[in-house]
Each structure stands twice: as structure tokens, then as C-alpha cells.
Homo-oligomer: A and B are copies of this chain.
Amino acid sequence: MGKVTMGPQYLIYPMPILLVGANVHDKPNFMAVAFCGIANAEPPMISVAIQHHRYTHGGIRQNLTFSVNVPSSDLIKEADYCGITSGSKVNKVEACQFKVFYGKLNNAPLIEQCPVNLECRVVHILDLGSHSLIIGRIEETYVSESCLTNGKPDVNKIKPLIYNRAPSRHYQAFGEVVAKAFSIGEELKPKE
């Protein structure tokens, strides 16, 4: 059959790299997260999985709010830094020179330099083992004006990144458009 088994693995599941923010002891902190997901459409909800001991985790549990910031490829150094350091030891906002702003929730810190920012209110926390799965209802979305085309967010300006572990751990850009969604599959429908 040409298949090999590799045991239970999530290693080949490509995910975007995001910066999750929370106020911890009343100061903004951010961590890099690739364990994320879309959880619901109406109302819009997303999920992030965070290890229990992480500094940001404490802030989210305390405030029951968090932010999700999509770094562009220009911010990859900062995003990676937020993944290899802990807010318990360094001031990441200072080190990364992030400009922080707050939106309607007042206590979910947002990064101005990130082209897309989501403010979320926690609706569920599931302890699944090594990680807590935190499900947040998106309360507001902010997009940098410079990343809009005709008033709509444009991935070619946002330049989000994928975190890829196969075969080694890299950040990759989005590549060429392969096909139009909800369209190319029509070719497989029987002709009438």
C-alpha cells in the first residue's frame, strides 16, 4: 500500500503561527502559538492550546480574555522570540518593541504591528493532558488599513506564516494560489 505508520502524531498538521496575548499581573505578555484552530462559525470562536505552566496561561485564566495577533513575515524574529522566552523572565513587549493597544474588552492586549488582531472572551477551558484547550469567542477583529484591498483583508499584504515541522521546524510563507475554493470541485459533478 506504500504507507508507513508513525504512531500517534500531530507533527504533520500544518498550522499558522500566532501571537496569543494576555495581561499577566496587569502587564501585557505574548506567546507564540501554533496549536490553534477555528472552533465555531456562529458565533465566531477560535481555540488555542497552551501548556498549563506557561506564563500567559495564568493571565488568561485570571482575566478570562485573550488576544490573537497574526504576525506578518516582517515580524518573524519577534514571533519566534515570543516562543523561545518566558514572560516570567523577560519583558517581551520591550524586547520586541511592540506597540500595545486595547480594544473593547479593555484587558486583552493587542499588537499594533500585527496586521490582524482578535479580541476573545473565554467560553470553555478543557484540560486535555499536557495542554489546556482554551476556546474563545471573538468579540472584535482589527485589521491594519495598509493590509486591505478594496476594503477587504488581503493575504498578500498580511503575509501570515505557517509553522511547519516536516521535515524540520520552519516558518513558511503562503505560496501560489492553486485553485478557487467551492468551485474547482464542480468539475467532478456529473454533467447534466
A116 shortest CB reach to chain B, Å: 5
Is the interface on chain A under 10, 10 to 19, 20 to 34, or 35 or more residues?
35 or more
Convert A4-26 into 0s and 1s, putting 1 for each residue whose CB lies closer than 8 angstroms to a CB of B. 11111111111110000000000
Chain B residue numbers with a CB within 8 Å of A101 are: 1, 3
Q: Could you tell me which residues of chain A, from 82 to 131, have a CB within 8 Å of some CB in chain B?
A: 82-85, 95-96, 101, 103, 112, 116-118, 123-124, 126, 128-131
Number of copies of this chain in the oligomer?
Answer: 2
Mark each residue of chain A from 137 to 156: 1 if its CB lies under 8 Å from any CB of chain B, else 0.
11111111110111011110
With beta carbons under 8 angstroms apart, the residue of B7, B13, B80, B146 that contacts A184 is B80
CA–CA, A173 and B14, complex, Å: 11
Chain B residues, CB < 8 A from A176: 172-173, 175
**In the complex the two chains form, is A169's CB within 8 Å of B141's CB?**
no
Do residues A174 and B177 form an inter-chain contact, with CB atoms below 8 A?
no
Are the C-beta atoms of B35 and A36 separated by less than 8 Å?
no
Query: B36, B96, B183: which contacts A80 (Cβ < 8 A)?
Result: B183
Given A13-B70, A15-B16, A152-B166, 9 extra CB contacts under 8 A? A1-B112, A14-B162, A39-B131, A43-B129, A45-B128, A45-B129, A133-B135, A171-B184, A172-B174
Contact sample, A vs B, 9 pairs, CB 8 Å cutoff: A5-B141, A12-B153, A34-B38, A39-B126, A81-B188, A85-B185, A126-B126, A161-B178, A173-B174
